[in-house]
Chain A
Amino acid sequence: ETGVTQSPTHLIKTRGQQVTLRCSSQSGHNTVSWYQQALGQGPQFIFQYYREEENGRGNFPPRFSGLQFPNYSSELNVNALELDDSALYLCASSLGDRDTPWANVLTFGAGSRLTVL
């Protein structure tokens, strides 16, 4: 089975631009979570999607938005980029059910490293 794949692996943007990061879930998984990992820090929860609906959000502004598609792949969109958005963005998938969409262990991708100049 394939794991979680993310694209692009690296990208550079300038302040004020917009970026879209993509994630393909592990086969059979229906829940996707996104995390931001600043350099030298632990990952911070951005949001989670379960069956195409947002199912929880961390302390991030609305310019961070996401989508989950019927095949359970996902996108993270960030508008009006700021210098502090420079980080490694991690996608993680898992298999959940209606009552506990977050229940199972997360499988992480290798991440997309975003640099904002």
Chain B
Amino acid sequence: GDSVTQMEGPVTLSEEAFLTINCTYTATGYPSLFWYVQYPGEGLQLLLKATKADDKGSNKGFEATYRKETTSFHLEKGSVQVSDSAVYFCALKKAAGNKLTFGGGTRVLVKP
């Protein structure tokens, strides 16, 4: 079946450091890929998405590129802020499917 694997956290960084969260997936066909963020006490918010190979999703300084050859969708940000502290989820959705398949989440803690 479909699956998403993320690097385990927590990831602890200093402010202005570079952030990378690895995400790889297993799925047949050409799924759409997503990054969601969950701040403490809140629901999931869509951070960015990509719907086909080589697409780059970007939002709020975060970027991820859909790499079909490596089945990856790694999340990056060049300079993190304390407000980026949250749990980040990578997810996929098949073209003919009606559900999101999530990875286990990666907790990021940014210290001043």
Contact = CB atoms under 8 A, between A and B. Distances in A.
Interface size class of A (residues with CB under 8 A): 20 to 34
Contacts of B99: 33, 45, 48, 56, 58, 102
Nearest to A48: B98
A108 B100 contact: no
- Chain A contact residues: over half helix, strand or loop, or mixed? loop
Contacts of B41: 110
Interface in A1-52: 4, 33, 35, 40-45, 48
Contact of A42 (B43, B49, B104): B104
Contacts of B73: none
B46 interface: yes
Interface in B64-112: 89, 91, 93, 97-105
B98 A108 contact: no
Interface size class of B (residues with CB under 8 A): 20 to 34
Contacts, number: 53
B105 A106 contact: no
B98 A41 contact: no
A106 to B, nearest CB: 7
B17 interface: no
A42 B103 contact: yes
Nearest to B102: A42
A55 interface: yes
A108 B38 CA distance: 10
B27 interface: no
Interface string A97-117: 000011001101111000000
A42 B98 contact: no
Given A42-B89, A105-B49, A111 B100 contact: no
Interface of A: 4, 33, 35, 40-45, 48, 55-56, 58, 90, 92, 101-102, 105-106, 108-111
Interface of B: 4, 36, 41-46, 49, 89, 91, 93, 97-105
10 contacts: A42-B89, A43-B89, A43-B102, A44-B102, A45-B101, A58-B99, A92-B43, A102-B93, A110-B42, A111-B43
